[in-house]
Amino acid sequence: MCRGIQHPVRGLFLRSYLSQVSRDKLPDIGSEYEGDADTVVDAVEFVLQNFTEMNKLWVRMQHQGPAREKEKREKERSELRDLVGKNLHVLSQIEGVDLDMYKDTVLPRVLEQIVNCKDEIAQFYLMDCIIQVFPDEYHLQTLEILLGACPQLQPSVDIKTVLSRLMERLSNYAASSAEVLPEFLQVEAFSKLNNAIGKVIEAQVDMPIFGAVTLYSSLLTFTLHVHPDRLDYADQVLGACVKKLSSKGKLDDSKATKQIVALLSAPLEKYNDIVTALKLSNYPRVMEYLDIETNKIMATVIIQSIMKNNTRISTADKVEALFELMTGLIKDLDGAEEEVDEDDFKEEQNSVARLIQMLYNDDQEEMFQIICTVKKHIMTGGPKRLPFTVPPLVFLSLKLVRRLQGSSQDQEENPFGDDSSTSPKKIFQLLNQTIEALSIVPAPELALRLYLQCAEAANDCDLEPVAYEFFTQAYILYEEEVSDSKAQVTALHLIVGTLQRMHVFGVENRDTLTHKATGYSAKLLKKPDQCRAVYGCAHLFWVDDQDNMKDGERVLICLKRALRIANAAQQMSNAARGNTGSVLLFVEILNKYLYFYEKGNPQITVAAIQSLIELITTEMQSDNSPPDPAADAFLASTLRYLQFQKQKGGAISEKYEAIKV
């Protein structure tokens, strides 16, 4: 009946039934129907013949009926394909089919049928079937035969998917156990696959670039699994990919760019080390074909790999190569400022900043070279990127200054001789240029903070002119660029705090800087801000561990001026609002009096403290004063502190005994 019925669908179902009922009756090794030596051949012959006939019937379906119903027929055929594929499954289950028989009989016959049927749907499905149903070691040993059929398939067959699945299976097989790797070397799997892919790409002239990149991506994954130590193989694959891409120019196909990201991510995932990937000479060449957006994605993948594996990138050359790869994140490309999501942009730039902080080399010369390389690259970043990338570079440089300073402690003669190629002086010059770049942003508050950080580092290296220069720059920024009153208050407190810690300045320089700072304090807009800045300046004239910087007279002048400003603030409040306002400023000044009294400033007398406490108490009891819980709580804790000091005993309690609360 099977031979008689020629209607494709009926014939298919009938032969499928034949295949099903005969499955457990085949004269196979170990079955009850096992006969003499040739029985397995008979079984194979029977299944192959059934397969061939079913395939013919299946293909014939395509050519029946009008052309307009082509899609409908293709849908029907797709639904019936498993009937044909089951035969290959039956073949793979026959115990007697060993590698030799598969190689000599089964595979050539199946491939012959696949190639000769010249039908796109059948060729794609059946090639995929062979790959899925037969064992991996069979594929490995018959790689040449299987790959030989690929270029003979119809040009419209999606051969990239077939080959990708084959390589995926072989990659998993290689990864499953180290014992199978010698088999791969023995059959020269890499060169066979490489040649086959080359032939397929040549044969299919119209293959989209996405298809070619997918093939190279699968081949690279295969190579990394089977020959992880052969970087030249991986580079060869990337080189072939570059050659293919070079014929197309920049990519605008999103599928292809996705595949390139997969291709470039594979070495990172395998080696867990960007340094190894940087040894692949064609790696950066592939990245050149990505558009800006995809370059950014890839650069982010690279940074994540470095973070995850804590990779040490320790030479200027490697840093150069790495930053070349990450152009999309570091540079403004072609002057085109594309629309970017603000949060994404911040995240990208923060990851670049983290990367800069991870660069390190024990050798100070090399470290300085790394810093110069980073500077060269980030200076191309344009005003939006600099506020993110300059601070980490500044702190990376300051770390090196501290290391140079530490190692110089051991040397007796002048450790920072200008003949040494890496000296703190040189680094400070570089820092000055780097921070100056923020003026194009403009980011005056950030630049001011960085100048002060550098001044402090120069102070620790005993470089007075350098520290003075950094302070001058900070003052210029304050005068010319910082106009917002809140920002002025913050900046001024930072200036005073940093200046107070400086010990490197001579009398003249220190006086100039201190005079300027106190001058700025008096010019702040709001009276309370003025008052706080002025009493903050008192600390500039009394530095604990330096006797030559204890000027009690000037401390008192600052505190008295602060009191006058606090009084003026109250009078203004009275005139404008009809009440005297809070006494909080007076309580704050009282705390400063107590601080300097405790430090032993002879100008701060018990009488002054006493009268200040009385003034505050009187003010608080006045009807004109509005309730202020913050001031009440602050005063209460100040008075508690006084009581506590009195109870301590010894010299401290004697000192405080005179103050009546």
Q: In 10 A of CB 234, how many CB atoms?
A: 25
Identify the pLDDT of residue 435: 94
Which of 183-197, 290-304, 419-433, 493-507 has the highest mean predicted lDDT (pLDDT)?
493-507
Highest mean pLDDT: which range of 254-258, 304-308, 419-423, 529-533? 529-533
Please tell me the least confidently modeled range out of 170-174, 252-256, 308-312, 574-578. 252-256
Q: Can you read off the two tokens belonging to residue 23?
A: 């499955």
The pLDDT assigned to 395 comes to 96
| pLDDT value, residue 413 | 42
Global pTM value: 0.79
Residue 408 amino acid letter: S
Q: Per-residue DSSP letters for 525-564?
A: SSHHHHHHHHHHHGGGGB-TT-GGGB-HHHHHHHHHHHHH
Answer whether the bond into residue 442 is a cis peptide, omega within 30°: yes
User: What count of other Cβ atoms lies within 10 Å of the Cβ of residue 310?
Assistant: 7
On average, the pLDDT of the chain sits at 87
Judge residue 419's burial from the number of C-beta atoms within 10 Å of its C-beta, 0-12 exposed, 13-18 middle, 19 or more buried.
exposed
Which pLDDT tens digit goes with each residue over 587-615? 999 999 999 999 999 999 999 999 999 99
**Closest-CA residue to 570 (of 626, 518, 638):** 626
Which residues is 549 bridged to in the sheet? none
- Which is it for the CA torsion 512, 514, 518, 520, positive or negative? positive
| CB of 464 closer than 8 Å to CB of 457 | no
Tokens 């010990």 -> residue: 503
Per-residue pLDDT reduced to its tens digit, 510-524: 999 999 999 999 999
For the stretch 290-299, pLDDT in tens is: 888 888 888 9
Is residue 38 pLDDT above 80, yes or no? no
Query: 258 CB contacts (<8 Å, ≥6 apart)?
Result: none
- Give the number of other CB atoms < 10 A from CB of residue 515: 11
